[in-house]
């Protein structure tokens, strides 16, 4: 049995590719099927099963397309959910043979009611590891407040108690030697304090993971699990429904979005449709010149997650601006990972073609941390920090205001229009997103701090004493 973790940093997601003999399984695949199909062909194996550890909220799975193209069986744990595709609903403890190996599905409700783990046993009968989905992470467990957004019968308290029982009765009795293979790592909003490590032994997790502390009572566990949770990203329940009901093939999405538009045609499309102009270039480049009213979410950062957080309508039509035409397919694919399938075209030749056509451009003013230091007056300078609440509470500029980027659209009235203000985040990625949104909404009298709080800390500007954060949300 060979177990390969395929980790995608953009959404902090781990899929798994497992082979035994001439058969394979894929667990929690991403939307794009081409890499999996190429790998199957190269290895000369047949895909037998596509296991889904649960109905995902943070990304759109490739299970439907992959099953159509390979004939593999989609497998979920126990559920009464009616789906838009054929699948096998496994029983708790059901065994699946793959080559000479076995995979045992263990039903572990808590993150969601159908959540399941997969115990992997090799050709010699030795237990190699357990794929834990969103039940158990490295350093954390899956948050139990997501499924309630889809089903009114569920509450976070009920789910947390299910999770307690699942961990205590199904996971903790297993061998300490097992390798834990989770579905996510640090950066995902599916847990509140995940490690950057993406594997560990179960024995070490029993020693170090707060949620596996055997001394915790069920009531104490519920308090621990629910404390420090921020509201889940708004796109999460929408992605759950997409994963349940189905979606267009990625090929259809790519064909629809890959329409090259020259500067004039792009301008006409922007004026005649309700399309949002999404500029995916790096923030530093964007700040120097961009199409008016465009939003900047750099493709080299947590692109998909911020698209999901900030573009409220998942059916929103999108016009793309990329660094160059070679980046278009990647941008459309990464949008599709979180269910944004309605790209309708892109600016042919990127922003350079817009400039060369003599079209109107806009810019964002920026200053260095050193320049901020010479201008800063805590009583007169309005500084708005767009980092997460947890980051702000941990350490921030004296008298700075905190408006987290994911809440920006709900707090626009708090940004001053009658006097200048200064924006910053940790490194400049999020503050440029905020700057582009503010520009779109008519704010002009502000500047962004280059390098953000990371550079501010290197100056003598007054900063609060550091407090260790209890959550990363």
Instruction: Note whether residue 143 is domain-resident.
Output: yes
pLDDT at 149: 67
451 and 424 both lie in a single domain:
yes
Q: Structural domain tally of the chain?
A: 3
200, 83: one domain: yes
Question: Is residue 464 situated within a structural domain?
Answer: no
Separation CA 312–CA 335 (nearest Å) = 13
Residues 274 and 393 in one domain: no
Would you say 234 and 308 are in contact if contact means Cβ atoms under 8 Å apart?
A: yes
pLDDT of residue 434: 98
- Locate 374 and state its tokens: 């010479």
Tell me if 43 sits within 8 A of 19, measured CB to CB: yes
Residue 292 and residue 146 in one domain: no
Using the predicted structure, report yes or no on whether residue 379 has a pLDDT greater than 80. no
Residue 245 has pLDDT above 80, yes or no: yes
Residues 347 and 442 in one domain: no
**Structural domain contains residue 70:** yes
Of 178, 210, 237, which residue constitutes the final position of a domain?
A: 237
Q: What would the pLDDT profile of 258-312 be if each residue is shown by its tens digit? A: 999 999 999 999 999 999 999 999 999 999 999 999 999 999 999 999 999 999 9
SS3 278: strand
Neighbours of 104 (CB within 10 A): 17
pTM for this model (two decimals): 0.94
Residue with tokens 């699942």: 166
Give yes or no: residues 91 and 225 share one domain.
yes
Q: What is the pLDDT of residues 114-138, one digit of tens each?
A: 999 999 999 999 999 999 999 999 9
Residues 275 and 186 in one domain: no
Q: Both 156 and 211 in a single domain? A: yes
- 233: its two tokens: 């990203």
* CA atoms of 369 and 359, how far apart (whole Å): 32
Regarding whether 154 and 51 lie in a shared domain, the answer is: yes
CATH number, domain containing residue 444? 3.40.250.10
Name the H helices within 246-347.
250-257, 263-272, 283-288, 303-310, 328-336
Q: Which domain holds residue 91?
A: 2-237
Does 329 reside within a domain? yes
The answer to whether 110 and 164 have CB atoms below 8 angstroms apart is yes
**Same structural domain, 177 and 254:** no
Q: How far apart are CA 105 and CA 131, in angstroms?
A: 10
Handedness of CA 420, 422, 428, 433 (dihedral sign): negative
Residues 331 and 377 in one domain: no
Average model confidence (pLDDT) for the chain?
96
């Amino acid at each position: 049995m060979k177990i390969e973790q395929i980790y995608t940093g953009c959404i902090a997601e781990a899929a798994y590719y497992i082979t035994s003999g001439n058969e394979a399984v894929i667990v929690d695949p991403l939307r794009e099927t081409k890499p999996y199909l190429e790998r199957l062909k190269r290895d000369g194996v047949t895909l037998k099963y596509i296991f889904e550890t649960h109905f995902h909220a943070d990304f759109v799975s490739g299970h439907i397309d992959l099953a159509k193209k390979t004939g593999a069986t989609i497998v979920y744990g126990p559920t009464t959910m009616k789906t838009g595709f054929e699948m096998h609903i496994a029983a708790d403890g059901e065994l699946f043979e793959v080559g000479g190996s076995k995979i045992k599905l263990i039903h572990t409700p808590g993150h969601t009611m159908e959540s399941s783990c997969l115990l992997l046993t090799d050709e010699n009968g030795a237990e190699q590891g357990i794929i834990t989905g969103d039940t158990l992470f490295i350093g954390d467990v899956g948050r139990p407040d997501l499924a309630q957004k889809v089903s009114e019968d569920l509450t976070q308290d009920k789910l947390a108690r299910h999770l307690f029982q699942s961990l205590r009765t199904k996971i903790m009795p297993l061998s300490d030697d097992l390798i834990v293979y989770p579905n996510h790592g640090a950066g995902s909003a599916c847990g509140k304090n995940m490690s950057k490590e993406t594997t560990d032994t179960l024995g070490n997790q029993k020693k170090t993971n707060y949620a596996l502390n055997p001394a915790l009572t069920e009531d104490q566990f519920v308090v621990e699990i629910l404390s420090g949770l921020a509201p889940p990203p708004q796109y999460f329940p929408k992605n759950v429904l997409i994963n349940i009901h189905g979606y267009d093939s990625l090929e259809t999405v790519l064909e629809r979005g890959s329409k090259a538009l020259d500067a004039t045609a792009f301008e006409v499309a922007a004026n005649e449709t309700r399309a949002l102009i999404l500029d995916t270039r790096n923030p530093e480049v964007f700040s120097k010149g961009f199409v008016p009213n465009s939003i900047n979410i750099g493709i080299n950062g947590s692109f998909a997650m911020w698209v999901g957080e900030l573009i409220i309508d998942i059916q929103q039509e999108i016009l793309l601006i990329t660094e160059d035409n070679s980046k278009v397919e990647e941008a459309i694919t990464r949008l599709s990972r979180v269910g944004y399938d309605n790209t309708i075209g892109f600016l042919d030749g990127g922003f350079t073609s817009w400039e060369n056509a003599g079209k109107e451009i806009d810019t964002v003013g920026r200053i260095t941390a050193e320049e901020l230091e010479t201008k800063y007056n805590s009583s007169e300078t309005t500084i708005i920090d767009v980092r997460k609440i947890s980051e702000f509470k941990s350490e921030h500029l004296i008298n700075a205001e905190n408006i987290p980027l994911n809440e920006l659209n709900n707090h626009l009235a708090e940004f001053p229009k009658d006097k200048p203000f200064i924006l910053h985040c940790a490194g400049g990625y999020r503050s440029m997103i905020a700057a582009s949104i503010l520009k779109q909404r008519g704010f002009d009298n502000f500047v962004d701090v280059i390098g953000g709080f990371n550079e501010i800390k290197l100056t003598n500007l007054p900063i609060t004493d550091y407090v260790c954060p209890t959550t990363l949300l």
